A and B are shown apart, each in its own frame.
Chain A
Amino acid sequence: MSGAGPGRPLAHWQHRLAERGVDRQLWLLVPALVFVIALFLYPFFYGLTLSFQPTTGGPFSDYARFFSDSYERGTIWITLRIALPAALLNVLAAVPIAYRMRGRFRGKRLVTTLLVVPITLGTVLTAQGLLNFLGPTGWFNRILLASNLVDEPVRLTHNYWGVFFSLVITGFPFAFLLVLSYLSGIDPTLERAAATLGADWRRRFTRITLPLLMPGLATTFCLTFVLAFSVFPSAVLVGNPAGETRVISLAAYQAAYEQYDYPYASAIAMIMGFVELVIIAVVLAARSRFYTGSTGGKG
C-alpha cells in the first residue's frame, strides 16, 4: 500500500447518512409532505380542537349536545341502517357474479366498461335519474302497473329506498370490479389441483377460493362502506332529508352551513369519522384472521 492519502479515514458524512436511506432524493417527498400536512393533517387537528371549543359550554358540550338530542343522535343509526345493508348487498352480490365472470369471455371488457359508467356519473346524476325512473310516473312503476303486479305506484323515491338504490347503482359496480380483480389474482390452478384431489365445485369454492378471497372481500367491504357511509347528495335528493334519510353527513353540513356553528359541525364530523373507523377496524381485525399472503396469481 503506497500513496500519499491518509490511512483509514472514516467515510464521508454524506455516506453515513445515505447508508440509513437519507439523501438528496428524499427532497422529492417534501412537496407532498408539506401538502398533506397543510391540507389534511392540519385541518383535521384544527377541526378536532375546534370541536372542543364550542360556542357555549364546556369542552365536551357539543358532543353532549349531539348525543343528548335524539334527532341528532339518530343520524348515526340512520346512516348505518342505509350504509351497512347497501355495502353488504353490494359485496355479496358481487361474489357469485364475479366468480362466474372471472374467466375470459367475449364482451368482458364491454361489461366492465359499462359498469364503470355509474361510478363516473356519480351520485348527483344517479339521483336525478332515479327521480325520473323510479318516481310514481316513471318507467319502473309503469311497467309494474302495466304487468298488473301492483295496483298503485310503489313509492321508491323521497324515502329510504331511493337512497338505498342510488347506493346500489354506484356501489355495486365498484364492489364488483374490485372482487373481480381479487378473484383473478387467485391462481386458477389451485382450484384445478383441488379438483384432482376429488373436491366438487362447491367444496372447491368454499375450501379454496373463498378463504383466499376473504381478505379481498373485507377490503372491498370497507371501501364500499366508506362510499356508502358518506352518502350525502342522494340522501338529500332522492331521500327524505328531514326524516328517515337524515344522515350524519347532512347533520354536519347543516350545522356548518345553515347554523354556521363550526365547532358543532366539527364535532359531528369527528363523531362521523370515529364511527366509520370503528366499523372499518372491526372488519380489518376480522380480515387479519385470514391468510393474506400471495394467492399464487400474477401481480
Chain B
Amino acid sequence: MSAFTQLRLDGVSRRFGGQAALSELDLTIEAGEFIALLGPSGCGKSTALNCLAGLLPLTEGSIWQDERRIDTLPPERRGFGMVFQSYALFPHMTVRANIAFGLRMRRLPKEETRRRTAEAVRLVRLEDHVDKLPGQLSGGQQQRVAIARAVVFEPSLVLMDEPLSNLDAKLRLEMRTEIRRLHQSLGLTTVYVTHDQEEALSLADRLVVLREGRVQQIGSPRELHTRPANWHVADFMGYRNLWRGRVEQSEGARATVEASGLRLLGEVVGGLQTGADVMVAVRPEDIRVDGPGETRNAMSATVEVVEYQGRELAAEARTDTGLLLHLRTEQRIAPGDQVKLAVDPQRLLVYQADAQTQPKRLADAPGATR
C-alpha cells in the first residue's frame, strides 16, 4: 500500500445543515504514530475520523498524504483500514472470509491471500474460530476479527472508532493492551477515537482533545494530564474540582485567587488579566487530607459522602465557607468527620474563565466519576 511519511489535515471542517460538527482541524500525523482523538460525545471526533476515512465529505479544507491530495478520493481508494464501534462484520461471511475481504478486493494471488489471512488470524488468536459466522462469536472475538480485517492488508493508516466501548470492563483492559501490541509489532500508524480519557492516555503517543468541533489541545499524554490547556480540557481530563474565583494578585506563573471565601495559591496556565474571573482546577487525588504543618492552600471541611473504591476512598467534603470538594484518599474517613485539607500550589491550576460559560458538568453531579 501507499505508505506515507506524513499525513496532513488542513483546515478540515464539516457542517451538518449549517451546524458545525468540526471546525478547522489542522493536524499532522507522522508515520508510526498512535494518535487519539478525545472528547465528550458530540465533540466532532467521530466526524473527524469519518472525514479522514472518506466516509463523510468535507465542507471545507483538504487532506494531504505527503504531496498528494486525498480528500477527493472515495474511501476504497485511500487504502486505510478501519475498525468500527459496532464492529460492522459482514454477517453472511465466515471469520476467514471477513478477514480476507480486503485482500480479495486488492486481487492478491490466492496463495498470498491465504497466507496473509492465516497470519492475521494467528495474530488475533482466532485459529479455532475461522469457519464460524460473526453471529456465533463473543463480543471480544468479534472485535478481534474487526481488527484483523482492518490490518490484514497492511493499510497505511488504521482508523479506530471507539472500538472498545461495546465491551465489558475486563475485556476492555485486555483489548487495550492487544491494540497497543499490534500497533507496535506491525508498525502501524493509528488514529483512535475515544471518549475515555484513561484509554486515550494509556494508548496514544499524542492526544487531540476536541470540544464542540474545535481542537482544544494537542499534546503528549503527560502534557494533557499535568497541564490541560484550558479549564474545559481540565474538566475532561479528570479535574473534578472546578471552582469559580477572582484573581487577587499574580506574579509570573503564580497567582493568588479568591474562591468562595478561600485564598488559594496556584499555577497560572495560559495567562490572565488581573481582576479577571478565573476557574480553579484540582484533581481529587491532589487534595491531601491532614497534611501535617501544611499552611499553603489549607482548608478545613466536613466529610459528607464517602464511596469505597478499593484501596482508596472517594469522598465529598464541604468547606466551612460552603465549597464542595471532591477528593480521593487512602485514609479512613467517615461522613461527619472534620478534616484538614491542603493542595500543593503546583497542582492547583488557574485558568482564565470564558466570559459566558459556567462549568457545565457540575462538580457535585452524582456519579460523574470517570
Is there direct touching of A and B in the complex, by C-beta distance under 8 Å?
yes
A residues near B (Cβ < 8 Å) are: 1, 3-12, 14-16, 18-19, 23
- B206 to nearest A CB, angstroms? 16
Q: B69's contact among A1, A5, A10, A15, by CB below 8 Å, is which?
A: A5
Nearest first, the 10 closest Cβ-Cβ pairs linking A and B are A15-B57, A18-B57, A11-B58, A8-B11, A12-B72, A11-B60, A5-B64, A15-B58, A9-B62, A19-B57
Q: Are B59 and A4 in contact (CB under 8 A)?
A: no
On whether A16 and B59 interact (CB within 8 A), knowing A1-B26, A5-B8, A8-B10, the answer reads yes
Q: Which residue from chain A places its CB closest to the CB of B15 in the assembled complex?
A: A19
The answer to the question of B28 belonging to the interface, with a C-beta cut-off of 8 Å to chain A, is yes
| A12-B71 CB under 8 A given contacts A5-B10, A18-B57, A19-B59 | yes
Those of B242-276 within 8 Å (CB) of chain A: none
23 contacts between A and B (CB under 8 A): A1-B8, A3-B6, A5-B67, A5-B69, A6-B62, A7-B10, A8-B60, A8-B61, A11-B58, A11-B59, A11-B60, A11-B61, A11-B62, A12-B71, A14-B57, A15-B58, A15-B71, A15-B72, A16-B57, A16-B59, A18-B57, A19-B15, A19-B57
A5 to B60 CA separation, bound complex (whole angstroms): 15
Which residues on the A side are within 8 Å of B60 (C-beta)?
A: 8, 10-11
A19 to B17, CA, bound (A): 8
Report whether over half of chain A's contact residues are helix, strand or loop; otherwise say mixed. loop
**Contact assessment for A3 and B62 in the assembled complex, using a CB-CB cutoff below 8 Å:** no
Closest to B24 in A: A8
Residues of B contacting A4 with CB < 8 Å? 67
How long is the Cα–Cα vector from A13 to B208 in the complex, in angstroms?
29
In the complex, how many angstroms separate the beta carbon of B66 from the nearest chain A beta carbon? 8
- B residues sitting closer than 8 Å to A (CB atoms) are 6, 8, 10-11, 15, 26, 28, 57-62, 64, 67, 69, 71-72
In the bound complex, how far is the Cα of B224 from the Cα of A147, in angstroms?
94
Which residues on A sit within 8 Å (CB–CB) of B26? 1
On whether the beta carbons of B57 and A5 are closer than 8 Å, the reply is no
Smallest CB separation, B44 vs chain A (Å): 15
Question: Do A3 and B64 touch across chains, with their CB atoms under 8 A apart?
Answer: yes
List residues of chain A with CB within 8 A of the CB of B11.
8
Contacts of B28 in A (CB 8 A): 1
State how many angstroms separate the Cβ of B88 from the closest Cβ of chain A: 19
Add 18 more A-B contacts to A8-B11, A9-B62, A15-B58 (CB < 8 A).
A3-B64, A4-B67, A5-B8, A5-B69, A6-B62, A7-B10, A8-B10, A8-B61, A11-B57, A11-B60, A12-B71, A12-B72, A14-B57, A14-B72, A15-B71, A16-B59, A19-B59, A23-B57
* A8 neighbours in B (Cβ, 8 Å): 10-11, 60-61
Min CB–CB distance A124 → chain B (angstroms): 42
Cα(A6)–Cα(B11), bound, Å: 11
Per the bound structure, the CA–CA distance linking A137 and B64 in Å amounts to 87
Residues from chain A with Cβ under 8 Å of B69 in the complex:
5
CA gap between A182 and B58 in the complex, in Å: 43
Residues in A neighbouring B8, C-beta threshold 8 A: 1, 3, 5
How far is B58's CA from A18's CA once the two chains are assembled, in angstroms? 9
What's the least CB distance linking A122 to chain B, in Å? Answer: 37
In the bound assembly, the distance between CA atoms of A16 and B58 in angstroms comes to 8
Chain B residue contacts of A11, Cβ below 8 A = 57-62, 71
Cβ of B67: which chain A residues have Cβ within 8 Å of it? Answer: 3-5
CB neighbours of A14 from chain B (8 A): 57, 72
Tell me the smallest distance from the CB of B120 to a CB of chain A, in Å: 31
Complex interface: chain A residues within 8 A of B57 (CB): 11, 14-16, 18-19, 23
User: Closest Cβ of chain A: how far from B85's Cβ, in Å?
Assistant: 23
- The answer to whether A5 touches B59 (Cβ under 8 A) is no
Q: How far is the CA of A5 from the CA of B64 in the complex (A)?
A: 8
Identity of the chain B residue whose Cβ is nearest the Cβ of A12 in the assembled complex = B72
A3 CB contacts on chain B under 8 angstroms: 6, 8, 64, 67
The CA of A219 and the CA of B61, in the complex, are separated in Å by 49
> In the complex, what residue of chain B is closest to A5 when comparing beta carbons?
B64
**Contact A5/B15 with A11-B57, A19-B57 known, Cβ cut-off 8 Å:** no
Q: Which residues of A contact B72 (CB under 8 A)?
A: 12, 14-15
- Return A19 CB to nearest CB of chain B, in Å: 6
- Measured CB to CB, the closest approach of chain A to B76, in angstroms, equals 13
Closest residue of B by beta carbon distance from A8? B11
CB distance from A9 to the nearest CB of B (A): 5
CA distance A5 to B58 in the complex (A): 17
Query: In the complex the two chains form, what is the Cα distance from A1 to B67 in whole Å?
Result: 13
C-alpha gap A279/B7 in the complex (Å): 63
Nearest chain-A residue to B16 (Cβ)? A19
- Complex Cα gap A19–B22 (Å): 14
Q: Kindly list chain B residues whose C-beta atoms are within 8 Å of the C-beta of A15.
A: 57-59, 71-72
Q: Complex formed: what's the CA distance from A8 to B72 in Å?
A: 15
Question: In the complex, what distance in Å separates the CA atom of A167 from the CA atom of B10?
Answer: 68
* Distance of A1 Cα from B9 Cα, bound (Å): 10
